[in-house]
Amino acid sequence: SAQVQMPGHLKGMKLWSLNPQTGLWEEEGDFQHDWSRRSKREERTFLVGNMEIRERRLFNLDVPESRRCYIKVRTYRSERYLPSEQVAGVVVSVINLE
């Protein structure tokens, strides 16, 4: 479809809802792709299926990906962040909540 820019993303696209208790995205239902042509110039893609909505949640239409996140951390002796106050050898722990 012209709406989905990345090749292969159309088949992997899923509907997700954000669980307010856990803070994690949960896959919603079993949806099928359907295409519709409104006119000669416009093509649309739909996810068709049934779902029961029991509470207000945030929804997201997305493709799950396993990517790495790289960070660069610098530590300083004070809040002035001067290069001369940069500290080496500090152990930094990063927590990924996803």
User: Rounded CA gap, 6 and 93, in Å?
Assistant: 34
Q: In this predicted structure, which of 1-10, 16-25, 31-40 has the lowest mean pLDDT?
A: 1-10
Residue 38 tokens read as 């409104």
Higher-pLDDT residue of 29, 88: 88
User: Rounded CA gap, 93 and 52, in Å?
Assistant: 40
pLDDT tens digit string along 51-96? 888 888 898 888 877 777 778 889 999 999 999 999 999 998 887 7
